Amino acid sequence: MTASKRVQILLLSLFLLVIFGEGAVQAIVELGRGERPQALDLFTRTPNAANLRAYETEMEKTAWSAKALRPAMQYVRFAGYGDLGEKALLGRDGWLFYRPDVSFLLEPWPQTVATPVPQDDPLKAIVAFRDALAERGIALLVVPAPGKPSVYPDRLSARAARTHTGAHGHARAFMDRLEEAGVSCVDLFALYREARAENADAQLYLARDTHWSPVGLRMAASAVADRIRAEGWIAEGAVAYEEEVVAIQREGDVLRMVDAPRIAAEFEPEQVDCQQIIDPATGEPYRDDPASPVLVLGDSFLRIYERDEPGSAGFIAHLARELKQPVASIVSDGGASTLVRQELQRKPELLRGKKLVVWEFVERDLRFGMEGWKLVSLPNTETVAPS
């Protein structure tokens, strides 16, 4: 190698400064706060694979350099590459998409190759749940919620916009399997496709959120109510709920998952006009009734506008308005596949007097559902006192 002494010293000094500097500054910062340097935590735990991974992760998370530089680098990569990190994808016209929503559509499902953890079969779990409910005289209505890329492929992909090609495949095929197994479903995919065929700009989902808009959820609630009425599972109620328009601003959960304030600042919050459902008897926003003949299970698609701002303006309240009676509900973010049924098992009183269970889950959860699709038995309601 040819390099003058001066050049060698320059490179070595800068390199050593960088690699020694991080640990030294970190230790000084921690000692300055009166804490023991975190690096020494290594000697306080048993050196097994799990502890070493945890130690390494904690060191990375709390490093001053990473904390100081990460936001700037996230912004640089966004500005230069249009990169939003591991969780999000930048679509067209300022639309953002949740990466697992897209992966679910892109990749084969059910998985054709062996996976490290064997995948549960959602069909088995749903059919078993349907059968267990039927034994108690309760009907089940399954409502797979389309992921945003299924409804708006053109806002993600220039090719989809050019070819007017839809992207939904797995969920549609799965609903066919459900119907073959005699499970009742509501096809929101077809509903939204028709809505967009009539008006391509129909705002059924939020641009920077994974979830539906107030328009989208009203359509869903209306379709589900139509199906319930058609099947005659429950008697129609008599509550004439009122509506009140409440305007809110939403940053969008996709943007929030990017976790980069400087990137978030590049996007205006979305103005969303919600229809809050008002109980005419009290003049207060809608509230669930655990004694209702209808129990609604689902994920964050039920939480948005309902338990989030402005409240009582989500799918549950709108379904109640359509049915003219309050419903009961269990909502678990990302946990519609298994966690909601486990929660139902812990709350047997919610099953008392039920005629119908409406089970919503987002399509990607067929593959990525938290805790998979476990078989969960129904709770024993006979020992529960009436609430």
Partner 1 sequence: MVFTSHIFIFYFLPLTLLVYYLLPVPRNFFLLIMSYIFYGWWNPWFASLMLFASYANYVCGHVIATSPVGSVRRKRALVASIVISLTTLGFFKYFMFFENNLNAMLDVLGAGTLPVIQITLPIGISFFIFQSLSYPIDVYRGDSPPVRNFFDFACFVALFPQLIAGPIVRYNTIAEQLVQRDHTMEKFTSGVALFILGFAKKILLANQMGGPADAVFSAESPAMLDAWFGVVAYAFQIYFDFSAYSDMAIGLGRMFGFEFPRNFNAPYLSDSITDFWRRWHISLSTFLRDYLYIPLGGNRHGERRTYINLTIVMLLGGLWHGANWTFVIWGAFHGLLLAFERWRGKESVYSRLPRPLRVGITFVLVLFSWVLFRSVDISTASAYFKAMLGLASASGGSVLLDSVIYTRGNLIVMALCALLAVCGTQAHDWVEKLTVTRVVLLIGVFVLALMTMFVQAFNPFLYFQF
Pick out residues in 29-68 that bind partner 1 (CB under 8 A): 39, 47-49, 52, 56, 59-60, 63, 65-66
Total binding residues toward partner 1, as defined by CB under 8 A: 70
Taking CB under 8 A as the criterion, the residue among 36, 124, 169, 176 binding partner 1 is 169
Verify binding: residue 262, partner 1, rule CB under 8 A.
no
Smallest distance from partner 1 to CB 186, Å: 22
Smallest distance from partner 1 to CB 359, Å: 24
Element (H, E) at 243: strand 242-250
CB distance 313 to 273 below 8 Å:
no
The answer to whether the bond into 110 is cis (omega within 30° of 0) is yes
How would you class 87 by CB atoms within 10 Å of its CB: exposed for 0-12, middle for 13-18, buried for 19 or more?
A: middle
Verify binding: residue 170, partner 1, rule CB under 8 A.
yes
Nearer to partner 1, 60 or 226 (CB): 60
Smallest distance from partner 1 to CB 197, Å: 17
Smallest distance from partner 1 to CB 131, Å: 31
Smallest distance from partner 1 to CB 92, Å: 8
Nearer to partner 1, 149 or 335 (CB): 149
Element (H, E) at 226: helix 214-231
Verify binding: residue 215, partner 1, rule CB under 8 A.
no
Verify binding: residue 108, partner 1, rule CB under 8 A.
yes
Taking CB under 8 A as the criterion, the residue among 167, 234, 263, 302 binding partner 1 is 167
Taking CB under 8 A as the criterion, the residue among 28, 40, 69, 181 binding partner 1 is 69
CB distance 94 to 207 below 8 Å:
yes
Nearer to partner 1, 36 or 159 (CB): 159
CB distance 299 to 362 below 8 Å:
yes
Smallest distance from partner 1 to CB 272, Å: 25
Nearer to partner 1, 98 or 315 (CB): 98
Nearer to partner 1, 36 or 287 (CB): 36
Nearer to partner 1, 2 or 271 (CB): 2
Taking CB under 8 A as the criterion, the residue among 81, 93, 135, 346 binding partner 1 is 81
Taking CB under 8 A as the criterion, the residue among 34, 43, 44, 80 binding partner 1 is 80
Q: How far is CA 5 from CA 2, 13, 14, 97, in A?
A: 10, 12, 14, 52
Verify binding: residue 5, partner 1, rule CB under 8 A.
yes
Nearer to partner 1, 75 or 349 (CB): 75
Torsion sign (Cα): 123, 126, 131, 134: negative
**Which range touches partner 1 (CB under 8 A), out of 14-22, 138-146, 208-216, 295-303?**
14-22
**Whats the size of the chain, residue-wise?**
387
CB distance 261 to 71 below 8 Å:
yes
How would you class 291 by CB atoms within 10 Å of its CB: exposed for 0-12, middle for 13-18, buried for 19 or more?
A: middle
CB distance 337 to 365 below 8 Å:
yes
DSSP string, 284-343: SBP---TTSSEEEEESHHHHTTTTSTTSS-SHHHHHHHHHTS--EEEE-TT-TTTHHHHH
What is the pairing mode between strands 242-250 and 184-185?
A: unpaired
Cα–Cα dist 385/387, whole Å: 6
Sort residue 245 into left (φ over 0), alpha (ψ -120 to 50) or beta. beta
Smallest distance from partner 1 to CB 160, Å: 5
Cα–Cα dist 316/383, whole Å: 28
Taking CB under 8 A as the criterion, the residue among 83, 121, 242, 371 binding partner 1 is 83
Pick out residues in 85-104 that bind partner 1 (CB under 8 A): 85-86, 89-91, 97, 102-104
Verify binding: residue 193, partner 1, rule CB under 8 A.
no
Cα–Cα dist 233/295, whole Å: 12
Binding site for partner 1 (CB under 8 A): 1-3, 5-12, 14-16, 18-20, 22-23, 39, 47-49, 52, 56, 59-60, 63, 65-66, 69-70, 72-74, 76-77, 80-83, 85-86, 89-91, 97, 102-108, 112-113, 149, 153, 156-160, 163, 165-170
